[in-house]
Amino acid sequence: MAERTAIREVVVVDPHGLHLRAAHQLTARASRFASRIELINGAVRADAKSILSVMTLGAGLGTKLILRAEGDDAEEAVEAVARWFSDGFPEEDQLAEDSPSNTPPVSPPEGHSAS
């Protein structure tokens, strides 16, 4: 059986580009998938699971990259990573279910009143 392949163009929408923190988030996200995932910027190919490799892309604001995955979960991997790009590199705690109604109240430090 042939490996599944998924390809999509993504655009860096963060004003700071694909900076170090974002590269770390990307590699953590990509590492959740079994598929081989790479980003391509012209002649430069980067392993999306390697922070050093991702940093070689030099991807600033507006850079168009090709996102490519090969493996059994290729479509899911490309969908998840592409959504993360289009959402502007949200932190894990900014994703999905976090909302003000799910956040427990914060108690003031001991010895301080809440007024």
Helix axes 20-30, 74-86, angle to 10 degrees: 160
Structure tokens at 64: 């168009």
Active site residue 19: yes
DSSP H or E segment with residue 66: strand 64-70
16, 19, 24, 112: which is the annotated catalytic residue?
19
**Which has the closest alpha carbon to 10: 49, 35, 39, 30?**
39
Query: Which residues touch 15 (CB under 8 Å, ≥6 apart)?
Result: 61
Task: Give the residue numbers marked as catalytic.
Answer: 19
